[in-house]
Structure 1
Amino acid sequence: MRNPRNESLRQNRSRKRDGSGDAPERRCILSGETACRDDLLRLAVSPDGDVLPDALARAPGRGAWIGCNKAQLEQAIASGQLKGALARSFKEGGLSVPQDLPVLLENALSRAFLERLGLEMRAGRLILGSDRIANEARMGKVAALFHAEDASEDGSKKLDQAWRVGMDAEGSGMAGEVLPLDRMALSVALGRDNVVHLALADHASAKRVLVPLRRLQTFLGAGAPAGDGGEAAVDGAAHDAAALD
C-alpha cells in the first residue's frame, strides 16, 4: 500500500506566490512594489550608517527590502539610485553603500542556503544518494527534490519520474528544483562526496529550505517578485513602513 503522499514543495510555493498564503509582505525600496517577505532581500543598516547584506533577514536594528537581481543592484549602486532610495526611506544621508555589495550579498545568500541544508542534514532530514532518493520518492516520502545545476539530464529525469509516481502526479510535468549551485559547492558545504541530487521528506524542513533558496534565486535572476527590481526610481511618497524593518 502506498503511503499518503506529501504535499510537494512546488505546490506550496505556488500558493504563497498567488497571495493565498499568510506570509507577511514588505515593500521594495527601489520599485515601490510589495511582495512576500520571503521573496525579498533585506539590507541591514549599522549604527554607523554602513549598508550590509542580511541574508537571513534577522539582523537587529534598521533594514530595508529590495527585490532586484544582481545586475539590477549593480546598476542601482552605480547610478546612485540605491543610495537615494535608502536616504529617502530613512530620511537621512551619510549612508555608506559598498561597491562590492552585490558580491557580498550573493555570497551571504549562498552561504545561508547551504547552512540551512547542513542543519537539515545534521537533523537527519536530508536524503542523499540517487538510489535512496528514488526509493523514497516512489513511496511518496519526498516533499522536496533538488538537483545540482550540473546534474545530468537523464539522472534528474529518472528521479523526477520517481517523484511523480510517489506523488500520484504522473503526466503533470512536476520536477525537482534545479539549484543555482553545482555539485562541488553542495559537496563541500555538506561534507559529502559528489552531492548531485538531494531531497527532503519532512514538509516543515522543505519550507525552511525554500526561504533562503527563494531569495538566492531572486538575486541570481530566477525571478524578481517585487516587480521591475528598481529599473526606475520612485519618489518618497510611494513608500511606507512596509519597506523598512
Structure 2
Amino acid sequence: MQVVQQSEAMMPVGPAGHDPAGGPLRTCLASGQTRPPHEMIRFVVGPDGRVVPDLARKLPGRGLWVTATREAVERSIARKAFARGARRAVGVDADLPQRIEGLLRARALEALALARRAGAAVNGFAKVEERLRSGRLGLVVCAEEAHASDSRGKVAGRGAPVMDFVDAASLGRVFGRDDATYIGIVSGPLAGRVAAEIGRWAAYRAPAGQAMGM
C-alpha cells in the first residue's frame, strides 16, 4: 500500500515533551516509548471491567495508551499490559485488534462522507482530473483496485497527495453508487481530516516493525 501524504500521524513533536497538536506525550503500554497522542490509541476500562478503545479520546476514566498499530495492541494483550496499566484485573476481548481496525476504517469513511455532504468531494476520474488541472484539490483518494492502474499514475504527481484506501464498492457507498474508484477532496480542512483518518488506518495496518519506527 502506498500512501503519499505527511498525515497528522507524522507531525513533529514540540519541545518540552509536548505535542503541538495534542498536549503532553504519552507512554505506550507495549513498548514503554513516549509518543504524541495522535500517534496512539487511548483505551479506558468500562463499567463492566472490559477494555474499551477510545479513538476520539473523550471517554471518562484513566487513559491507557498504546501506539496506534495492530502489532502494538496485540503485544499489549499478550503481555497483559492493560491490567498492569489499569492496576487491576480487566477483560480484553479476543477480537479487539480487529475491531479497532474496523473502527479506524469507519472513521475514515465517515470523514469522506462528511466531505461529500459539505460539497467538498467529487467522484469519478474525469471530475478528479479536471479539478487537478485547475489546482482545486487537496487530496485524491483511490480505491485499492486502482493501485497499479495507468489512471492512478495519471493523477499522481499532479499537485495533490494521493492515498490508497478501501475497495471501490465501499467507497461507492459514500456516494450512493455501486462503486467509486477516484475521489477528489477540495483543498481545505476537510482534505486534511480525510488524509489524517486514512493515514491513521493505514499506519495501524502496516506490517510489524514498519509502522512509526517500531
What TM-score, normalized by structure 2, do the two folds share?
0.81
- C-alpha spacing 1:71/1:30, structure 2 compared with 1 (3 Å): closer
The answer to whether the Cα contact below 8 Å between 1:118 and 1:189 also exists between their aligned partners in 2 is yes
Q: Secondary structure at the match of 1:143?
A: strand
Q: Determine the C-alpha separation between the residues in 2 that align with 1:42 and 1:99.
A: 18
Larger radius of gyration: 1
Matched, 1:196 2:181: yes
Q: Determine the C-alpha separation between the residues in 2 that align with 1:16 and 1:73.
A: 19
* 5+ long unaligned stretches in structure 1: 1-8, 168-174, 229-245
Q: Secondary structure at the match of 2:84?
A: helix
State the shift of 1:48 in Å. 2.7
State the partner residue of 2:64: 64
The answer to whether the Cα contact below 8 Å between 1:17 and 1:36 also exists between their aligned partners in 2 is no
State the shift of 1:124 in Å. 0.9
Q: Secondary structure at the match of 1:66?
A: strand
Cα deviation code 1:81-121 (max 9, x no counterpart)? 1x3x223323x221111111112111111111111111111
Q: Determine the C-alpha separation between the residues in 1 that align with 2:129 and 2:43.
A: 39
State the shift of 1:75 in Å. 4.6
Residue number among 200, 224, 229 corresponding to 2:211 in the alignment: 224
Name the structure where strand makes up a greater proportion of residues.
2
Q: Determine the C-alpha separation between the residues in 2 that align with 1:211 and 1:155.
A: 24
The answer to whether the Cα contact below 8 Å between 2:9 and 2:196 also exists between their aligned partners in 1 is no
State the partner residue of 2:13: 19
Q: Determine the C-alpha separation between the residues in 2 that align with 1:55 and 1:191.
A: 27
Q: Which residue identity is paired with 2:154?
A: K
* 5+ long unaligned stretches in structure 2: none
- C-alpha spacing 1:44/1:215, structure 2 compared with 1 (3 Å): farther
Q: Secondary structure at the match of 1:23?
A: coil
1:40-59 correspondence runs (5 A): 40-59=40-59
State the shift of 1:72 in Å. 4.7
State the shift of 1:56 in Å. 2.9
Q: Secondary structure at the match of 1:114?
A: helix
Let me know the Cα RMSD of the aligned residues: 2.6
State the shift of 1:142 in Å. 0.9
Aligned length: 202
State the partner residue of 1:241: none
User: Which structure is higher in RCO with an 8 Å CA cutoff and minimum separation 6?
Assistant: 1
Q: Determine the C-alpha separation between the residues in 2 that align with 1:29 and 1:69.
A: 12
